[in-house]
Amino acid sequence: MSEPTIRNRILGYLDKLTDHVHRPRVTTLEIEVAVGIAIVAVVSLFTIHYFTTPMATAVVVCTQIDRKEARKLGWRRLIGTMFGGLSGLLVVIIDDHFGGNPYIFVGLAFTAIILIGSLFYVFKLPSGSWKITMISLALVMLVQFGEDRVLYAIFRLLGTVAGVLLSVVITTLWAHTEMAIESYREQRKLAEAKEEESEHPSH
């Protein structure tokens, strides 16, 4: 079987799949999130939940279907994730330095939220990135008190970043797949039109 034939068969199956996706029962976003969570489930077999829990959260929050803005929004979300995650890690490190006092922790968390919010307001950054930053901040800094607290916070930071990257990859691949399907549909319509024209030539 030739390579073009295999490609056309695959696109044909995907074409049928997208017909079902565009019905009210299942949306593109739901499929993207399902794929992302399935990948996280596989990853969870080989690592601790401090990594996979924020990874799954980031996949659900960051996955989106706007393929035109996918790459730009992906970079914004990645930057917001890094900023929020590093801020959360800093909160944990400072609080750990003071002996893990709950009152100091609450004060540091409150200060971090106010400072980050002020920076977004001053530089007029998009509100969507602010939400991702706040979620990343919370995911990283809200770890249980104990000896390995900083290590767990680092795992949460890495998991959150991995989740954002995974969501960007899934969104981008799905966007390219949809474009390939649209191209396949157009080629099929042209081929059917030519075939019909050859069967019923005009006089």
How do residues 66-100 score in pLDDT, each as one tens digit? 656 666 677 778 888 889 999 999 999 999 888 88
Assigned token pair, 57: 């959260």
Give the DSSP letter string of 99-159. Answer: T--HHHHHHHHHHHHHHHHHHHHHTT--HHHHHHHHHHHHHHH----STTHHHHHHHHHHH
Q: Are 135 and 54 in contact (CB under 8 A)?
A: no
Instruction: Write out pLDDT tens, residues 11-51.
Output: 777 666 666 555 556 677 888 899 999 999 999 999 988 89
Does residue 203 carry a pLDDT above 70? no
pLDDT of residue 31: 85
Q: How many CA atoms lie within 13 A of 196 on its CB side?
A: 6
Does residue 144 carry a pLDDT above 80? no
Exposure string of 38-70, with b = 16+ CB inside 10 Å and e = fewer, is ebbeebeeeeeebbbbbbbbbbebbbbbebeeb
Max avg pLDDT among 2-6, 131-135, 159-163: 159-163
What is the model's pTM? 0.73
Cα–Cα distance, 171 to 173 (Å, whole number): 6
